[in-house]
């Protein structure tokens, strides 16, 4: 049962990336920005998602450590 939940989590994460890219695309089109500027925005969005995943992983690790050592 854990495996399908992991797949669902990956789908949600990709949806977030797609939404960010679509937002940046629409923003760039409205503002008439160059393709290079758009590419920079997409890279920035990707990096933000990666940083958010790292932060979440740290929180999960801390919660697991706390659960493993309830006396502390």
In angstroms, how far apart are the furthest CA atoms of the chain? 58
* pTM for the whole structure: 0.43
Please give the angle made by the CA atoms of 14, 5 and 18, to the nearest 5 degrees: 10
Residue 41 predicted with pLDDT over 50: yes
Domain ranges of the chain: 26-72
Compute how many other C-beta atoms are within 10 angstroms of the C-beta atom of residue 1: 4
For 70, the 3-state DSSP assignment is: coil
Give the model confidence (pLDDT) of 23-37 as tens digits: 877 777 666 667 677
Directed axis angle between helix 2-31 and helix 35-68, to 10°? 150
Q: DSSP state, 33?
A: -
């Amino acid at each position: 049962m854990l495996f399908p939940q992991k797949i669902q989590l990956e789908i949600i994460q990709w949806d977030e990336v797609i939404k960010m890219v679509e937002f940046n695309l629409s923003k760039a089109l409205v503002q008439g920005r160059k393709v290079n500027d758009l590419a920079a925005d997409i890279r920035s969005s990707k990096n933000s998602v990666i940083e958010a995943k790292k932060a979440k992983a740290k929180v999960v690790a801390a919660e697991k450590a706390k659960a493993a050592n309830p006396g502390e």
